[in-house]
A and B are shown apart, each in its own frame.
Chain A
Amino acid sequence: MEGDVLVIGGGAAGMETASRISDFNRNVILIEKEQELGGHILKWDRLFPDGIPASDVTKNLKESLGSTKVLLGCYITSIEKREDSNFFAQLNSGETIKCSSVIFATGFKLFPAQKKQEYGYGLYERVITNADLETRFKKGEGLGKDAPKRIGFVHCVGSRDEKICNNQCSKLCCITAVKQAIELKQLYPFAEIFCFYMDLRMYGRGYEDLYLEAQSKYEIRFIRGRVSEISQEQSGLVIVKAEDTLASRPLKITLDWVVLMAGIISERENDYLSQQLSLQLGEDGFIDSVDPIQKTNQTNIAGVFVTGSASGPKTLPEVINEARSTALSVNEYLNKIKNG
């Protein structure tokens, strides 16, 4: 199969980039390893800060794909750049794709929370992750029929944590936790909700307002201090040990549920592709831009672009904007190689 552009990854970044490049009457091929387009937001129920349903966003993104050729359940087994600056990619389906440009929209991975052993994820039933909670919201289950009395959110699980080898900030979990805490409070008005944080990074428009609302309107309690360990009572309830660094004292609290805010880490599964193309990766495993200010979506290899969270944690609006700018850069590049 031949095309101008190959987009790897059918999440928000990949879909938006593909549709915008198609707008330039380019021949775009989009491959997605899963059987459905959408990526991580498929599992999400509603999105911060205003609670827009995630499915609406996915639907809009899919509709604007236009003439893009979509290959589902496909991934690249090997890829190479030939001398004539064309790329040849071998797919698992046996098909070969020839194209002039490749875009990495490979996204991120949620930190596997069981790696943070002291939190007992996978061991205790009532310790779940942010993604698990969204799935429950989506299915309409919430945290079960019996209204929980006390719920805790643990921020920065696998983010900004040298001990687990992830130093980067995942950027969106602070606001996601606030959003999810409010949603739970709306579902269970009598539940006490605690958020254990080390910093709250409410940098986006409307985030700080939501955070203040969480405190004043929803009476969610924010405790500054990392959780040291979680254990389980015989009844199944979970005991959280933490330090309240503002009150300067250790703290132990029994909770019905604990939600771990698993952070964003790089999708190490694609390292073989970046190796084959000699793409430069940062120490955190995300793809490096050739220029972090003006050429954020260009990589060290001409014709290979990166967009979305493949180059670091990003929020959805950022991803969408970046996808559009990537489309422009790719179009410029294609014009340039055509005109020699």
Chain B
Amino acid sequence: MKERIIFGYDPFVIPFTLGVIFIMLYLGTGTVRILLTLTRKEALNLLNSIFSVKIFKTFKDILFDVLLHVKIFKRNILLGYMHASIAFGWFMLIFIGHIEVILYTPQRNGVIYYPVFFRYFVMETSQTLRGAFFFFLMDLFLLIVLSGIALAIYKRFRSVRLGMKRTTRLKTGDKIALWSLWMIFPLRLIAESFTADISGGSFLTSTINTLMGSLVESTVYMDTLWWAYSCALAIFLFALPFSRYMHIPTEILLIFLRNAGIKSSSSRDGFAESEIYSCSSCGICIDACPMSVVDKKSNYTSVYLLRKLRRRKEDSLFVAEQCLMCGKCVELCPVEIDSCRLKLLKKRENFPDQIFDYNYLSKKHPEFKSGINRPDREKVLYYAGCMTHLTPQIYTSLFNIMDKAQIDYSFMDRDGSICCGRPLILSGGERAAKELIKANSELILRANAGILLLSCPICFKVFKENYSLNGIKVMHHSQYINLLIKEGKIKLKKGDFSVVYHDPCDLGRGSDVYSEPREVISSAAVLKESSNLPAESICCGGSLASRRFSQSERESVTLHSLEKLNINNPEKLITACPLCLRSFSKFNKRETLDIAQLAEQQMI
């Protein structure tokens, strides 16, 4: 390969070079800013994760998430191909460009623009083996990127074809970046085609060059096109910080930080900033969000919250308060942004802590019938919580099951309870909830039980995550019933009716309990699938988390969820949460039961 331009320079490289310098400085500053907010412990964790085998996981995550977009492939093959072809194809173009420079023009190593405009500066024919090989590769990856761009343009008009009912509304910065991104690759193709007879080309560029005929002989056209290509790149790079495409560089930093076990501690700065800037505004969360069934509420989905947080808008609190906190958007997010955590933090930062009076807590001293002083591993302490008190059929059935299995249990809050604390936590009162957690913990430890049994997944999650109970096993009743069946203490007969199971948000996605309820149900009835995967179950509409949902809006959520559940026409609906039971039984024309009721009915 031979350099065509002696100094290896032409003025058209200036816009691109400025763009690269700008974005490098911007990214450098941003990264340093985020790293400086890390605590000493977090910084050490980060170093540890870089200088250990963990780094391979980080590299794997970067390859799979940033370049290949495996998670989007799983959602929709076309959508995945669109993302992967642009990301991976572009990466390969840059990567191979660098290889070419290193191999053939080592004297230009480190010249920023050289690998990108290699075809302009170097000539070679495809007659030689290395020419044919590299030109073919470059044309191939350019073709892949172009096919991705074509899909992206198509998606703007018919997003449904790529598996998305709704897409994100774009801001000006996004649009400028988007249009320049669409321009970059066609311009590169034509620019390289125009020089293909001088610098060499392969199946794409050479063919186009031949087709152009006499046009390519004019150097004016050629220069104009290389200028246009460089300008398109420059516009993209300058627009990048003000657009959603910031996710491309930021996600790499996010993966490093996440793999070091770092979590956000504020809704906007530090680690949160890397999460916020990593949002690609792909809009997968808009379709996923149960709120979206109410049209105007789709404006409050995670993608728009992240955008508001990014721009430090004052109404981001209002948006955070809308969320039902079902966690489905987190489950489906291709970048794995924990937007629910950011919402909680936002609410926590605005929580009025001083208005609470906890004097009443010291007055609660329920008595337990058990006189044993040392902890008994078999003994069960049952805590119904406020929601199960509103659905007494659940604990009545559960007690009948436990009586039949001859379990020694006591009912901790028969005469009223101290709240588990999760409603407070969900509205941002983490510190306030500590008082309740302390009071409850004392009561629980005094009972000397081995198992703390709960019926409400909302309580279950908080008892598991926010309490330290000295080794007492925290169980949801669906797990406990399954345990009783496994131990042979109760027996169920399998009915010939069909049922569908609804995974409560806090039990499934929230606490990762999916299999035990299904095992119980399978031994009592014929279990049918709903139209959602277990981890993508839709909120029943009863969530305690949102302060901004009217009754009729909740009804729309419930009806939508029911429609998806009943898709295979089951005879009954089974759930494992008092709140879901209440929401669904209001509207479901089929029988709606808690898993404990089903188990009791089928018990022999």
- Which A residues fall within an 8 A CB radius of B? 115, 117-118, 120, 123-124, 162-165, 228-232, 239, 241, 252
B545-556 to A contact mask, C-beta < 8 Å, 1/0: 000000100010
Report A-chain residues with C-beta under 8 Å of the C-beta of B587: 165
How far, in whole Å, are A118 and B391 apart by their CA atoms in the complex?
5
Report A-chain residues with C-beta under 8 Å of the C-beta of B585: 115, 117
- The closest CB in chain B to the CB of A114 belongs to B393
Report A-chain residues with C-beta under 8 Å of the C-beta of B551: 162-163
* Contact assessment for B392 and A118 in the assembled complex, using a CB-CB cutoff below 8 Å: yes
What's the minimum C-beta distance from B85 to chain A, rounded to whole angstroms? 50
Pick from B391, B414, B415, B555: contact of A117, CB under 8 Å: B391
- Between-chain CB contacts (< 8 Å), 19 pairs: A115-B585, A115-B586, A117-B390, A117-B391, A118-B390, A120-B392, A120-B393, A123-B393, A123-B396, A163-B551, A165-B555, A229-B390, A229-B392, A231-B389, A231-B414, A239-B415, A241-B416, A252-B415, A252-B416
Answer whether residue B582 sits at the interface, using C-beta atoms and an 8 A cutoff. yes
How far, in whole Å, are A163 and B550 apart by their CA atoms in the complex?
11
B413-434 to A contact mask, C-beta < 8 Å, 1/0: 0111000000000000000000
B533-552 to A contact mask, C-beta < 8 Å, 1/0: 00000000000000000010
What's the minimum C-beta distance from B63 to chain A, rounded to whole angstroms? 51
* Contact assessment for B392 and A165 in the assembled complex, using a CB-CB cutoff below 8 Å: no
Name 9 extra pairs, CB < 8 A, besides A123-B393, A231-B389: A115-B585, A117-B582, A123-B392, A165-B555, A232-B392, A239-B415, A241-B416, A252-B415, A252-B416
- The closest CB in chain A to the CB of B392 belongs to A120
How far, in whole Å, are A140 and B406 apart by their CA atoms in the complex?
41
Report B-chain residues with C-beta under 8 Å of the C-beta of A230: 392
- The closest CB in chain A to the CB of B395 belongs to A231
How far, in whole Å, are A228 and B389 apart by their CA atoms in the complex?
9
- The closest CB in chain A to the CB of B393 belongs to A123
What's the minimum C-beta distance from B384 to chain A, rounded to whole angstroms? 9
A162-B551, A163-B551 as given contacts; A117 in contact with B393, CB under 8 Å: yes
- The closest CB in chain A to the CB of B394 belongs to A117
* Contact assessment for B586 and A231 in the assembled complex, using a CB-CB cutoff below 8 Å: no
- The closest CB in chain B to the CB of A233 belongs to B414
How far, in whole Å, are A252 and B417 apart by their CA atoms in the complex?
13
Report A-chain residues with C-beta under 8 Å of the C-beta of B389: 118, 229, 231
How far, in whole Å, are A117 and B594 apart by their CA atoms in the complex?
12
Report B-chain residues with C-beta under 8 Å of the C-beta of A123: 392-393, 396
Report A-chain residues with C-beta under 8 Å of the C-beta of B391: 117-118
- The closest CB in chain A to the CB of B552 belongs to A162
Q: Which residue of A115, A230, A231 has the most chain B CB atoms within 10 A of its CB atom? A: A231
- The closest CB in chain B to the CB of A124 belongs to B392
Report A-chain residues with C-beta under 8 Å of the C-beta of B392: 117-118, 120, 123-124, 229-232
How far, in whole Å, are A163 and B582 apart by their CA atoms in the complex?
10
Report A-chain residues with C-beta under 8 Å of the C-beta of B415: 239, 252
How far, in whole Å, are A229 and B390 apart by their CA atoms in the complex?
6
List of 5 A-B pairs having minimum Cβ-Cβ separation, nearest first: A118-B390, A120-B392, A162-B551, A117-B391, A229-B389
Chain B count of residues within 8 A CB distance of the other chain: 16
How far, in whole Å, are A205 and B583 apart by their CA atoms in the complex?
40
Report B-chain residues with C-beta under 8 Å of the C-beta of A115: 585-586
How far, in whole Å, are A252 and B413 apart by their CA atoms in the complex?
14
How far, in whole Å, are A120 and B582 apart by their CA atoms in the complex?
13
Q: Which residue of B392, B396, B581, B582 has the most chain A CB atoms within 10 A of its CB atom? A: B392
A231-B414, A241-B416, A252-B416 as given contacts; A164 in contact with B586, CB under 8 Å: yes
Report A-chain residues with C-beta under 8 Å of the C-beta of B581: 117
What's the minimum C-beta distance from B534 to chain A, rounded to whole angstroms? 26
- Which B residues from 377 to 393 make CB contacts under 8 A with A? 389-393
What's the minimum C-beta distance from A35 to chain B, rounded to whole angstroms? 28
Report A-chain residues with C-beta under 8 Å of the C-beta of B555: 165
B221-257 to A contact mask, C-beta < 8 Å, 1/0: 0000000000000000000000000000000000000
How far, in whole Å, are A241 and B587 apart by their CA atoms in the complex?
26
- The closest CB in chain A to the CB of B389 belongs to A229
Report B-chain residues with C-beta under 8 Å of the C-beta of A165: 555, 586-587
- The closest CB in chain B to the CB of A234 belongs to B414
Report A-chain residues with C-beta under 8 Å of the C-beta of B416: 241, 252
What's the minimum C-beta distance from B90 to chain A, rounded to whole angstroms? 54
How far, in whole Å, are A189 and B463 apart by their CA atoms in the complex?
49
How far, in whole Å, are A126 and B570 apart by their CA atoms in the complex?
34
- Which B residues from 566 to 583 make CB contacts under 8 A with A? 581-582
B318-331 to A contact mask, C-beta < 8 Å, 1/0: 00000000000000
How far, in whole Å, are A332 and B391 apart by their CA atoms in the complex?
53
Report B-chain residues with C-beta under 8 Å of the C-beta of A241: 416
B581-595 to A contact mask, C-beta < 8 Å, 1/0: 110011100000000
Report B-chain residues with C-beta under 8 Å of the C-beta of A231: 389, 392, 414
How far, in whole Å, are A117 and B597 apart by their CA atoms in the complex?
14
How far, in whole Å, are A117 and B416 apart by their CA atoms in the complex?
17
How far, in whole Å, are A229 and B582 apart by their CA atoms in the complex?
14
- The closest CB in chain B to the CB of A228 belongs to B390
How far, in whole Å, are A252 and B586 apart by their CA atoms in the complex?
27
What's the minimum C-beta distance from B402 to chain A, rounded to whole angstroms? 14
Report B-chain residues with C-beta under 8 Å of the C-beta of A239: 415
What's the minimum C-beta distance from B589 to chain A, rounded to whole angstroms? 11
What's the minimum C-beta distance from A314 to chain B, rounded to whole angstroms? 26
What's the minimum C-beta distance from B597 to chain A, rounded to whole angstroms? 11
- The closest CB in chain A to the CB of B397 belongs to A123
What's the minimum C-beta distance from A231 to chain B, rounded to whole angstroms? 6
Report B-chain residues with C-beta under 8 Å of the C-beta of A117: 390-393, 581-582, 585
Report B-chain residues with C-beta under 8 Å of the C-beta of A232: 392
Report B-chain residues with C-beta under 8 Å of the C-beta of A120: 392-393
What's the minimum C-beta distance from B582 to chain A, rounded to whole angstroms? 6
How far, in whole Å, are A118 and B551 apart by their CA atoms in the complex?
18
- The closest CB in chain B to the CB of A162 belongs to B551
- The closest CB in chain A to the CB of B583 belongs to A163
How far, in whole Å, are A163 and B415 apart by their CA atoms in the complex?
25
- The closest CB in chain B to the CB of A167 belongs to B551
- Which B residues from 294 to 323 make CB contacts under 8 A with A? none
Report B-chain residues with C-beta under 8 Å of the C-beta of A164: 586
How far, in whole Å, are A230 and B391 apart by their CA atoms in the complex?
10
How far, in whole Å, are A118 and B395 apart by their CA atoms in the complex?
12
Q: Which residue of B390, B393, B586, B587 has the most chain A CB atoms within 10 A of its CB atom? A: B390
Report A-chain residues with C-beta under 8 Å of the C-beta of B390: 117-118, 228-229
What's the minimum C-beta distance from A19 to chain B, rounded to whole angstroms? 38
How far, in whole Å, are A162 and B586 apart by their CA atoms in the complex?
11
